[in-house]
Structure 1
Amino acid sequence: MKTFRKIFLAIIALAVMGLAGGTAAADTLTVDADGGTDFTSIQEAVDSAKEGDTILVMPGKYVENVHIGKPLNIISGVEAPEEIVVEAADRRDHVFHIRADNVNISGFTLQGAKYEDNLLAGIYLDNVQKSTIQGNILLDNYYGIYLKKSRENLLNRNVASNNKYGILLCVSSGENILSMNRISDNYYGVDLENACNNNILTGNTVYSNRENGVMVISSSCTDINNNNISLNPKTGLKLDNSRGNSISNNSVSESERGIFIVLSGDNRVTGNSVNSNNLCGLQLGGNAERNTIEENSFVKNKDGIFIAYSARYNTVANNIVLNNNKGIYLIGHSDYNEIQENIVCSNSLGFCMESCKENVLSGNIVTNNTDRGILLTESFDNFIYNNYFNNANNVAEDKTNIWNTTKTAGKNIAGGLYLGGNCWASPEENGFSQICQDAEGDGICDSSYQIGDFDSDELALVYSPIADSLIQNKLTISEIAENESKAKGVSIEKEAAEKSPLGSVYPVGVFLIAFLISGGKRNK
């Protein structure tokens, strides 16, 4: 059997050559806490290994703190990371402390780096580049995985639970990729702060953390895409004092705020499903400026889109805002925003605006809102034209606003040939635009539509059945979006149960070889 073991060890060196990233001279060292292999502790193997070597660890429990100062591959000898537990011998030290580039750690449970509020981690990357951390379980540490001044690393298919922070990147840790990780039941899920720029978060499941799911603080150009973020009580995804970030194609649900952008500008939020959040689907607040919110769906939140407290110069376009309390809600000197071509349907209030000025609302479809299509309080000089209102009560205001543009050639939202004011319809088909006269046949009502005691729409649009098919098609799209949003949000537990933390990235041959090696040890 010793001969077989030598053969298998030679094969293992070939199997992990891709992980080693080195030359044919790299060796494979084996570790088993029960003996019968090269070493009984991981640290002993690390100390003896050469740069580029692979350390293969057999199942068991290892009570030690491992310090790694050279390029190595430290990998599990079994598929299930819960079978190899490395617990901090000194709870005031990291479990794995990495201080070299090109280190690969795969397939362990790392736990116990927690002493009061000392900043300790299951895996700590300290000024490290081009390392891979994949398929590990991080439990009961202060930080599950902690990167400081570390760049171009891959964190893939890890599970972080019951830590203070699931994953933390700080102090200029940029150009890292966090993919397919499962982050749950921590105090904070994923946190990037202090000039952590140009990172990618993709395909992660972040749920049931006790505060926030994902936070980006004082960092720029992060790409957050295709993540499932839910059941984080405070905020699903927060940008704070951060610029130039992209948030796309995520499902964000069941928090107080789904997406919260504060003191941040020039960010893009596109293609997300944001539903069932207790305060709002998305909030732009605290001087958030020049952000673009487009092609998202906001379904069954308290408020769909909340633009608050001097959030200015933002663009909100082509979103579906459905079955919320307030669909799109502006308050507190949130001025100079452009809100265009959204579907705002079946909310209590479609649009609500309080103490705001000089916003532009155009091209929006505002229908079936039960209280009112648009309500303006202490708001003035807003420019509202070419919108389609079809609600039992369309509008109320207490200040003066602008309800039409100059008559201009161009197809309007009701299907006519001129831009002017708005289309004012009602579900009973007796709305102003449905019954007004149009002697000239130009699609503009001959008389103006009176709005409260202050204003009128001088160029109200004539309703046309021709526009119904387009509007109905858009409303059908909104129903599809609601169903897709529901489907996207209900699969977290199933997805988490089905995914192996290692996935398909771990060499299958290593499992078989490791099994035979461990069997050889037992039969010695």
Structure 2
Amino acid sequence: MKIKTYSIIAFSFLLIYANTVAADTITVDNNGNENYTSIQQAVNNSVDGDTIIVNKGTYIENIDIDKKLAIISKSGNPEDTIIQALHPYDHIFHVTANNVTIKGFGLKNSSSGSGIYLDSVQYNTVANNHLQANGVGIYLWGAAKNNILINNTASDNSWSGIRLSPDDSELASNNTLINNTMVNNKYNFEIYTGYENASMQNNIDTTNTVNGKPIYYLVNVSNITLNSASNAGAIYCINCQNMSIKDQVLQNNSQSIALFNTSDSRFDSNILSNNAVGIILFNSDNNTVLNNIVVNNIIGIGIVKSTDNYLSNNVANSNIVGFDVHESTNTELNNNTANFNKDNGITLSSSIQNKVNGNIANHNGGGIKLFNCSNSLLNNNIANSNRYAGIDLGSSRDNILTDNIANSNREHGFELAG
């Protein structure tokens, strides 16, 4: 069996040479018989099992990989073998085949796409790359499983450094991340959380860092305490019990503290800023969230499809939404502060039997808003000087309001509609 090995060398006119050699042998031959003008042409003229060796230089193109290939820079140095997006709205490497290796490249300027986009594929290896100034550095989409990401750096990307996202209800899972560095991305590390039954099983250890601090990705563990000594960059708890997370300073992630199917845990005195969501509880019950400060996030603290959670003495200021409770039961919000949020200070939607007591929600878009909620108690809250209503109950019924204050709101103190 013969395995073709392509050597790509970049001059001002980007010449690519190729040579046919024995299996498991990689050579560079400037006198090869095949000449290409781009990496994509080398891919197009390859077959499964080939290796493409790229000499140092700058290449301007977007590359679709639909074969089992290894594409490797000859130097192994991503700073001298650079691929810039020809079309900034497209991915630099769009991988639709299994068993692909991409190693040793600097990938830049896919401003609306990704440096590497693994499109529901398996058993790929992405190693020693530097992904910079893209929309997303490395994007694992849909049923992307059993892939290895090792020793990559994702910096200065306009959305996220590394993103795992589902297609329908299947989330990228069983992937292994080792020693990846995410720094100065808008949201360094991101796992999309919009699907209730999506698997969260991945192997992500603390050698992966955001802004120089380790990611704690904890699966099926109990009785763990993470305090300030852990110096975490992001914390995920999947199928965990009796966790304690306190005194952390976390920022610039999609979710900085994220619970999935986690119960009987406590989150105390953390500071979370500039995230998409500071703290999110998803399908997680009987947790306590106390004394946290969440500022400048899209959502400060989110509760989704969860039961019997208690939030007290938290401050959620200057977010888009301070507290957001959705499809949840028996959530209790006591003595929290939600001021200067762009939309609502406190939002509850499609939720029942919740208690909202003694909270302050001033100077927001809306103070406290319930939509399609029932059998909840609002007592002794203050919602003043909001741009819309102080307390708004839309399409809600059978709720009890006592001793609330809603003064100086631009539209209504109390609004009931629908």
Give the TM-score normalised by the residue count of structure 2. 0.52
2:176 maps to: 177
1: distance between equivalents of 2:117 and 2:93? 6
2:201 maps to: 198
1:79 pairs with 2:89:
no
Q: Residue 254 of structure 1: CA displacement?
A: 2.5
Change (3 A) 1:104 1:309: closer
Q: Residue 124 of structure 1: CA displacement?
A: 0.7
Change (3 A) 1:161 1:127: same
| 1:130 match: secondary structure | coil
2: distance between equivalents of 1:156 and 1:205? 12
Q: Is the 8 A contact 1:31 1:37 kept in 2?
A: no
Q: Residue 253 of structure 1: CA displacement?
A: 3.9
Q: Residue 277 of structure 1: CA displacement?
A: 3.5
Q: Aligned Cα RMSD in Å?
A: 4.9
Partner amino acid, structure 2, of 1:50: V
Q: Residue 334 of structure 1: CA displacement?
A: 7.5
Partner amino acid, structure 1, of 2:209: T
1:260 maps to: 257
Deviations 1:450-477 (A, max 9, x none): xxxxxxxxxxxxxxxxxxxxxxxxxxxx
1:113 maps to: 110
Deviations 1:7-42 (A, max 9, x none): xxxxxxxxxxxxxxxxx6323211111243654521
Q: Residue 259 of structure 1: CA displacement?
A: 5.7
Change (3 A) 1:30 1:78: same
Partner amino acid, structure 1, of 2:67: K
Partner amino acid, structure 1, of 2:114: A
Change (3 A) 1:259 1:74: closer
1: distance between equivalents of 2:71 and 2:188? 26
1: distance between equivalents of 2:118 and 2:148? 11
1:69 maps to: 66
Change (3 A) 1:268 1:289: closer
1:187 maps to: 186
Q: Residue 43 of structure 1: CA displacement?
A: 1.3
Change (3 A) 1:252 1:125: farther
Partner amino acid, structure 2, of 1:159: T
1:165 pairs with 2:157:
no
1: distance between equivalents of 2:303 and 2:245? 26
Q: Is the 8 A contact 2:76 2:128 kept in 1?
A: no
Partner amino acid, structure 2, of 1:27: K
Structure 2 portions without partners, runs of 5+:
16-29, 295-300, 311-329, 335-355, 359-379, 381-418
- Greater share of residues in helix: 1
1: distance between equivalents of 2:61 and 2:89? 12
Change (3 A) 1:122 1:355: same
Partner amino acid, structure 2, of 1:166: G
Partner amino acid, structure 1, of 2:119: D
1: distance between equivalents of 2:173 and 2:200? 5
1:92 pairs with 2:89:
yes
Give the TM-score normalised by the residue count of structure 1. 0.43
Partner amino acid, structure 1, of 2:285: E
2: distance between equivalents of 1:160 and 1:33? 24
1:133 maps to: 126
Change (3 A) 1:174 1:308: closer
Q: Is the 8 A contact 2:128 2:153 kept in 1?
A: yes
Change (3 A) 1:131 1:247: farther
Change (3 A) 1:62 1:200: same
Change (3 A) 1:93 1:247: farther
Q: Is the 8 A contact 2:39 2:63 kept in 1?
A: yes
Change (3 A) 1:78 1:187: same
| 1:81 match: secondary structure | coil
- Greater share of residues in strand: 2
Q: Is the 8 A contact 1:221 1:246 kept in 2?
A: no
Q: Superposition pairs for residues 45-444 of structure 1, below 5 Å?
A: 45-114=42-111, 118=112, 120-149=113-142, 150-163=144-157, 164-171=159-166, 172=170, 173-193=172-192, 194=195, 195-202=198-205, 203-207=207-211, 229-230=232-233, 236-237=234-235, 244=239, 253-255=248-250, 260-261=257-258, 264-266=260-262, 277=271, 288-290=284-286, 333=332
| 1:45 match: secondary structure | helix
Partner amino acid, structure 1, of 2:173: G
Q: Residue 221 of structure 1: CA displacement?
A: 5.6
1: distance between equivalents of 2:201 and 2:263? 13
Q: Is the 8 A contact 1:81 1:135 kept in 2?
A: yes
2: distance between equivalents of 1:289 and 1:109? 44
Structure 1 portions without partners, runs of 5+:
1-23, 231-235, 316-330, 336-353, 357-377, 379-524
2: distance between equivalents of 1:237 and 1:48? 44
Deviations 1:116-153 (A, max 9, x none): xx4x1100111211100111011111111111121111
2: distance between equivalents of 1:291 and 1:54? 51
Q: Is the 8 A contact 1:103 1:132 kept in 2?
A: yes
Change (3 A) 1:83 1:237: same
Please point out which of 11, 18, 26 is paired with 2:3.
26
2:362 maps to: none
Q: Is the 8 A contact 2:209 2:215 kept in 1?
A: no
- Calculate percent identity across the aligned residue pairs: 29
Q: Residue 188 of structure 1: CA displacement?
A: 0.8
Q: Is the 8 A contact 1:102 1:130 kept in 2?
A: yes
Q: Residue 207 of structure 1: CA displacement?
A: 1.7
1:42 maps to: 39
2: distance between equivalents of 1:252 and 1:67? 45
1: distance between equivalents of 2:180 and 2:282? 31
Change (3 A) 1:178 1:249: farther
Q: State the structure with bigger RCO (CA 8 A, min sep 6), 1 or 2.
A: 1
Change (3 A) 1:229 1:28: farther
Q: Superposition pairs for residues 508-523 of structure 1, below 5 Å?
A: none
2: distance between equivalents of 1:312 and 1:255? 25
